[in-house]
Chains A and B, each alone.
Chain A
Amino acid sequence: MLVVNEELCIGCKACEKACPFDAIYVDQETKKAVVKDNCTLCGACVNVCPTKALSIERKAVSEEELAKYKGVLVWGEWEKRDNNLQLKGVVLELLGKARQLADKLQENVGVILVGYKISHLVDELFHHGADIVYLCEHELLETYTTDGYATVISSVLATEKPSIVLYGATPNGRDLAPRVAARLALGITADCTGLDIDEKRQLVQTRPAFGGNIMASIISPYTRPQMATVRPNVFPKPEPDIARNGKVITVPVSLTKQAIRTKIIEDVALEESTENIEEAQILVSAGRGIGAKENLKLVHQLAKEIGGTVSGSRALVDLGWLPQPKQVGQSGKTVAPNLYMALGISGAIQHIVGMSSSDTVVAINKDPEAPIFKVADLGIIGDLNEIIPAFLELLKEYKKGKNEN
């Protein structure tokens, strides 16, 4: 509840101007601030009030209670790659971050590894910074299901009492983490791009909101564990240390078939999407500006010549010109290649948030006002259907010249 102390309120209207939601005003007759129904308790007015007449009543919990929770835990998500079960890249990225956070807290890094016949993944986790691996194996955990995984992970969290739990913001991570959070009545922050520890030993979670136009820093001051999902390709992978070792704790799992209420009838990998754009070093990305579907040939040819992978904007996926797993952006994937070539992509903020971690960005677009140019290292205003063929011609000559030398 936002409370106005009418004795302190001087009717200066600072709150009125600061409110992002038009939810507080100074009454003309009483000259006192009045809170409206659409107040979201964001606190903007509290910060600007010169007489400290505004306050937000919040719940408090003792520090001793919070101190019972220790350690940083990462969900060790794996996937089937080349007929092998392998850790997802984001798990290693999270281990690097978890190590930093745990070192600041002087606590341990744990990994909760759930699945069936997955013990071969343990060493790689130790090499990348884990101290403890909680190994939860059961044949009913062979494929990911919300029910199976949420049950196992919730019970490990309840007994092990970690202070922080991190999940990759993959489709399964975003399916699982809120289910666990609701079960244990915990806070959860989605799609974090920054994580840090503050002076009160709390996890400060930073994430984009409003399609990336705004960043918000979020804490969970009175519940433990503090939980967050983190998008892939946001944090760097740590260098593995093959001498590192740790402790494996085998967690007994008892599950029945009835406990898993969803059944996978069909599981299809689309052939065109086998190359994962999240892992690509060079992406040649196409948008509506390519004009016609047959111009995609040019895009594919360019990708082939410079050793890149083709991706695209939502517009092309919606048109059915590219399969969904190739989509970059907020409703697609977050990518971080060394080179991102945006061809005919205007650069809506939803697209920018998906590729802004790229090292080098080249944009070609007809529209000089296209927002993509604001994030480009090299921006070319022009028709890509003229520029790309000319480029391919020059590239051919250049490669030929290089070979002859």
Chain B
Amino acid sequence: MKIVVCIKQVPEADKVAIDPETGTLIREGVASILNPFCEYALDVAVKLKEQFPEHNIEIITLSMGPPQAKQALIRTLELGADKAYLLSDRKFAGSDCLATSYALKEGIAKLVPDFDLILTGKQAIDGDTAQVPAEIAEHLGIPQITYGLDVTLNNRRIEVKKETEEGYQVVSARLPALVSISRGSNIRRLPSIQEVINARRKPLEVVSVEDIKIDETKVGLKASPTQVVKIFAPPPKAAGEIIDGRDDPKAAAKKLLEFLIEHKFV
């Protein structure tokens, strides 16, 4: 059985900001990491592999990005993936969600045509769109289950516990299918030295548009319906009143009551 986990390398999102004077992104000192939601998806794949040895599960990670995104894929090999592919080509530059999902679909269809399950993170922490998973599923013509918490296998079907607004649902679908994962352990597992050494022997292949004959007119900027016209810093909020209640909590409580009375909340 083959599980493809689509992953993205992202900047540590909350450290990225805009220089208010020049209006450009400040990226100094911002590290690139494996998107946490993608790591949760990989964790689910590794868990399934351990839980269902009879299925002989092979985990293949796939990403589209610049050459340095290899680092994120190496991480996936250290954390339990068996093989990794990076789609990397200037021709992908400027891809929005639609063009990115097309490229990933082509990568899956041509590199792992006999896939059974696709796992993705719910969203990437840089763009936060959560749109690429559903678009990949649509391009491949397979069912999708988003906001997944836990996945289990039952013959040729999967059962997914998924988050809903009120609680949760258990949804099943026949394979092949795509599941996006929305939650995972907050404590990140560090690979052991042995896992790091093993990862070096695992295959990681960089693939170009030409290598797998992707239709060039469907990737990159020209195939991207959306265009960013402007980026800017969010407007700052006017400063409020700050009081120090460390020495006198009673005085602080009194101030709080006065504030709530003044604003008619009590």
A238 CB–B CB distance under 8 Å: no
CA distance A181 to B138 in the complex (A): 9
A147 touching B94, Cβ below 8 Å: no
CA distance A331 to B245 in the complex (A): 32
B167 touching A269, Cβ below 8 Å: yes
Partner of A211, one of B14, B236, B245: B14
A186 touching B246, Cβ below 8 Å: no
Across-interface contacts of A219 in B (CB, < 8 A) = 226-227, 229
B173 CB–A CB distance under 8 Å: yes
B171 touching A262, Cβ below 8 Å: yes
Of the listed stretches A65-73, A99-107, A371-379, name the one at the interface; the rest are far from the partner chain.
A371-379
B112 CB–A CB distance under 8 Å: no
Across-interface contacts of B11 in A (CB, < 8 A) = 210
B25 touching A378, Cβ below 8 Å: no
How far is the CB of A227 from the nearest CB of chain B, in Å?
9
B240 touching A379, Cβ below 8 Å: yes
Across-interface contacts of A189 in B (CB, < 8 A) = 129, 226
Enumerate A251-280 residues with CB–CB distance to B below 8 Å. Answer: 261-270, 273-274, 276
Enumerate A125-182 residues with CB–CB distance to B below 8 Å. Answer: 146-147, 150, 170-171, 174-179, 181-182
A398 touching B265, Cβ below 8 Å: no
**Interface membership of chain A positions 183-221, coded 1 if the CB is closer than 8 angstroms to chain B and 0 otherwise:** 101111111000000000000100011111111111111
Query: With A20-B27, A181-B135, A306-B265 as given contacts, are A387 and B252 in contact (CB-CB < 8 Å)?
Result: yes
CA distance A375 to B236 in the complex (A): 9
Partner of B245, one of A147, A221, A274, A380: A380
B193 CB–A CB distance under 8 Å: no
A-B contact pairs, 21 of them (CB 8 A): A1-B221, A17-B22, A21-B25, A39-B93, A43-B228, A178-B130, A178-B131, A178-B138, A182-B139, A185-B225, A189-B129, A214-B25, A214-B234, A220-B226, A222-B225, A261-B143, A325-B165, A360-B263, A382-B249, A390-B250, A394-B254
A residues near B (Cβ < 8 Å) are 1-2, 17-22, 37-44, 56-59, 79, 146-147, 150, 170-171, 174-179, 181-183, 185-191, 204, 208-223, 261-270, 273-274, 276, 282, 306, 318, 323-325, 330-331, 338-339, 348-350, 356, 360-362, 364, 366, 368, 373-383, 386-388, 390-391, 393-395, 398-399
Which 9 residue pairs of A and B lie closest in terms of their CB atoms, listed nearest first? A187-B225, A20-B25, A382-B245, A41-B94, A390-B253, A182-B138, A187-B226, A178-B131, A386-B249
